A and B are shown apart, each in its own frame.
Chain A
């Protein structure tokens, strides 16, 4: 393996507090791996162990074939982009991009060409002579990406790079990042975010983190369609998680029999049924659930209904309704058996 990242049981402790607990994970060469999780889940700490700004209390970090655990940051050969851009305000755009090349003592004659190439790649060629203060947030982020790419790193670390941008810019930058990755297929990217849309859009695989531990890892489709834990189901896609008991031919939700694939689950066992809100329909159908409307939210193209079903609140995203049902009215929801996933244990209702 020439690039890629390997965490080998990496633990980070501050006193009695463990902020990263025995992380073992491999980012393949050329792969985009998203570390997805809420604040304090340990995802940024994991990234910082790769960058060299945090020293693991235990475990090793590898970049390619090299064990970089004890190397200082400037000898790791990484590119890094952070949330607030961290451009050098006293340097022009081209000088910012050239910073890494000069620090690595690249031949002087090559530097202008490499800078121009990186700026063209990010669409910032026309802004080379400007200072960062003369650029918008999105443009500054492009310069930060160009600066990281100019050194042609094997590994690119992106720490919530789009969090400071507004929704429209973020969407555009996501497309730009996807394009950049297609142009640089050999660069391994570790992408830290708390935004599931960014992770689902960009990543080849997603590692879901919570409370300093890796909870789940898989392709976006796997995590979204077949989550393995209640946390993943809840954090990625905000699924409905309903406590059920496994029956011979499905599950039982507070007396309502539902036909869903139960796999290897033993009859009589407690389990959690996961159903995505957009896979729930309004009206009669298979696996009907009757309940009362508790809240209705209009979301433009859709309505989100919150329906109380046997003491459990079920979220359903339905196409925009012409006549919204009044609060407290009785409605019937349904979902297809193949759209439900049965999770082993750990009820996380709500």
Chain B
């Protein structure tokens, strides 16, 4: 009779990974937290603290200059965003779907354009549409007017000039995500829609637009936030009657040395921006950006 012999399972010893030093994980969090706190949170805290001076909020929020700046900031930001969305959508459609020589180069240039400083665009517009710019020069040459400043183009120093500059500068920020979304579109859908009898306008409206809506919303939200905080464009256009919240902060803090009022305006501006940024993040997540 054969005897069964029980065999003990082999002993498995878990091998711990060798560590030369044991540094608690929280230690690694210290440098970024310290930098963040020192460079960003502490100054922001100071601004909030300064804004809490007695009566500062009541005084600033009740002032006509603040209300004007708030209204100007919001309508310029909303107007520029709408302009960027319309122009960006149309231009991105052309770049993506209308075959023309150099379309790829234009697409690459949009990436480069995003790296340009905002004042550069404003400066370029000043050269073209400024009071003594090219457009007025051409007018003077054509009509024989005495001075270049007699030309008809003076809108650059008005809110419309700021609006034009912001639309010019921020439109690529809408185009970039749109072009990425267009590249993901199934061209077979467009062809099938066409074969079913849809004309190009219907295809744009009923097929393309609904599918790229998240990208459009993400681009628009980003532009809205950036326009709310835009300082360089407003300053460089020299539009005297145009005071936005960032410009008000500048004038209160630097020109009038009223830091409490400047900080109140800044806190309101930050609250507006953070709120809109939250919307932007939510939309971006939905768009998969």
Contacts and interface: CB of A to CB of B under 8 A. Distances in A.
Contacts of B196: 74, 79-80, 99-100, 103-104, 147-148, 151
Interface residues of A, number: 29
Contacts of B198: 74, 99-100, 103
A73 B211 contact: no
B267 interface: no
B240 interface: no
Interface string A47-89: 0000111000000000000000000111111111011101111
Nearest to A73: B194
Contact of A74 (B186, B188, B195, B211): B195
B189 A86 contact: yes
A133 to B, nearest CB: 13
A55 B194 CA distance: 15
Contacts of A78: 195
A332 B152 CA distance: 99
A74 B189 contact: no
Contacts of A90: 210-211
Nearest to B209: A90
Nearest to A81: B192
Contacts of B194: 52-53, 72-74
B191 interface: yes
B206 interface: yes
A99 B196 CA distance: 8
B125 to A, nearest CB: 39
B17 interface: no
A207 B221 CA distance: 54
A250 B191 CA distance: 54
B188 A84 contact: yes
B286 interface: no
Nearest to B191: A53
Contacts of B48: none
Interface in B182-218: 186, 188-189, 191-199, 202, 206-207, 210-211
Nearest to B186: A86
Contacts of B210: 88, 90
A108 to B, nearest CB: 16
B197 A103 contact: yes
Contacts of B197: 74-75, 77, 100, 103-104, 151
Nearest to A75: B197
A88 B207 contact: yes
B191 A73 contact: yes
A14 to B, nearest CB: 13
A40 B202 CA distance: 33
B109 to A, nearest CB: 27
Nearest to A150: B196
Contact of B206 (A51, A74, A99): A99
A74 B196 CA distance: 6
Nearest to B207: A88
Contacts of B199: 74, 103
Interface of B: 186, 188-189, 191-199, 202, 206-207, 210-211
26 contacts: A52-B195, A73-B194, A74-B194, A74-B196, A74-B197, A75-B197, A78-B195, A79-B196, A80-B191, A80-B196, A82-B188, A86-B188, A86-B192, A88-B189, A88-B206, A88-B207, A89-B211, A90-B211, A99-B206, A100-B198, A103-B199, A103-B202, A104-B196, A104-B197, A144-B192, A151-B197
Interface of A: 51-53, 72-80, 82-84, 86-90, 99-100, 103-104, 144, 147-148, 151, 157
Q: 4 smallest A-B Cβ distances: which pairs? A: A100-B196, A86-B188, A103-B198, A103-B197
